[in-house]
């Protein structure tokens, strides 16, 4: 019994885990609340700002007899946005017909006679048609390039093949990429690179945009590798 007592006394006492203080628990709860509410708050703020931006510019153009606020004692947010969507849909329906296409061509010929206006209209039309075209590959792929120097990799968006105006001066086949700035991707740099120096990333444009807006804090999850077929499974040697 004496020996057992000595061995028991020689064993170090197990330290009890420290309980977090009340201040630490409050801090944890506060951060958890921020993580839950921040995405909702940002989404609501952006949506409300967009609706308010459209309403302040479209509502004055709505005839009073068609404006619901004329008959209601309170304002209705989103009325301008709804009218804008309906108007654009109606314009698209009308221009799809023969008479609509005639008026569109007549308007384009009228703008083509205005020296300064025709340049703006032509550039805007080409950009919109390129971006919205279903067959267009502009901004459909995220790529990785070495920029601004060798060994430094940068995420960019593939615009498409380089126009002949630039391609005619270079022997290698070039592609056009746009390198956006972070966290504001509305500005960036236009680069012409050899096709072999552009690496295609297996992510969507939306996932790439999230990485840029979050300064790399939000990264897409790598898809799990598919399981090997039964005949290709590797067995350990016995």
How much is the average pLDDT of 188-211? Answer: 90
Tell me the pLDDT band of 118, cut-offs 50, 70 and 90. Answer: confident
**H-type alpha helices, 96-204:** 98-112, 115-132, 164-167
How much is the average pLDDT of 87-101? Answer: 87
How much is the average pLDDT of 49-78? Answer: 88
- Spatial neighbors of 72 by CB under 8 A, at least 6 apart, are none
Tally of CB atoms within 10 A around 87:
13
Q: In whole angstroms, how far apart are CA 4 and each of 12, 15, 136? A: 15, 22, 83
Is the model more confident about 17 or about 107? 107
Is the model more confident about 13 or about 188? 188
Q: Alpha-carbon distance 215 to 134, whole Å?
A: 30
Q: Alpha-carbon distance 45 to 183, whole Å?
A: 18
In the block, residue with structure tokens 């920029």? 147
Q: Alpha-carbon distance 67 to 55, whole Å?
A: 12
Tell me the pLDDT band of 69, cut-offs 50, 70 and 90. Answer: confident
Contact between residue 189 and residue 179 where contact means Cβ atoms under 8 Å apart: yes
Cα dihedral across residues 147, 151, 154, 159: positive or negative = positive
pLDDT for position 41? 93
Query: How much is the pTM?
Result: 0.56
* Residue boundaries of the structural domains of the chain: 141-213
Q: In what order do the strands lie in the sheet with 188-194?
A: 188-194, 174-180, 153-161, 141-146, 199-200
Is the model more confident about 136 or about 203? 203
- Residue 227 predicted with pLDDT over 60: no
Tell me the pLDDT band of 152, cut-offs 50, 70 and 90. Answer: very high
Q: Alpha-carbon distance 116 to 128, whole Å?
A: 19
- Residue 189 predicted with pLDDT over 60: yes
- Residue 143 predicted with pLDDT over 90: yes
- Residue 108 predicted with pLDDT over 70: yes
Comparing C-alpha atoms, which of 171, 149, 145, 169 is closest to residue 157? 145
What is the rounded (10 degree) CA torsion for 49, 51, 52, 54? 120
- Residue 235 predicted with pLDDT over 90: no
Average pLDDT of every residue of the chain: 81
- In the chain the beta strands, taken as DSSP E runs, fall at 141-146, 153-161, 174-180, 188-194, 199-200
Cα dihedral across residues 115, 120, 126, 132: positive or negative = negative
């Amino acid at each position: 019994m004496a020996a057992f007592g000595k061995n028991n006394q020689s064993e170090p006492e197990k330290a009890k885990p420290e309980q977090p203080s009340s201040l630490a628990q409050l801090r944890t709860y506060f951060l958890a609340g921020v993580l839950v509410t921040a995405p909702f708050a940002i989404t609501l703020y952006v949506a409300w700002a967009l609706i308010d931006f459209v309403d302040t510019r479209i509502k004055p153009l709505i005839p009073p007899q068609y404006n619901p606020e004329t008959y209601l004692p309170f304002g209705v947010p989103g009325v301008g946005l709804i009218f804008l969507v309906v108007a654009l849909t109606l314009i698209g329906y009308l221009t799809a017909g023969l008479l609509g296409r005639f008026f569109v061509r007549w308007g384009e010929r009228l703008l083509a006679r205005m020296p300064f206006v025709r340049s703006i209209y032509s550039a805007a039309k080409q950009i919109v048609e390129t971006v919205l075209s279903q067959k267009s590959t502009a901004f459909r792929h995220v790529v990785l390039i070495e920029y601004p120097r060798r060994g430094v990799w940068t995420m960019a968006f593939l615009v498409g093949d380089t126009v002949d105006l630039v391609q005619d001066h270079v022997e290698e086949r070039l592609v056009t990429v746009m390198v956006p700035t972070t966290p504001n991707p509305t500005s960036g740099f236009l680069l012409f690179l050899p096709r072999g120096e552009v690496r295609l990333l297996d992510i969507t444009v939306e996932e790439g945009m999230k990485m840029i807006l979050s300064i790399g804090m939000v990264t897409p999850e790598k898809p799990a590798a598919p399981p090997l077929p039964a005949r290709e499974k590797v067995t350990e040697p016995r």
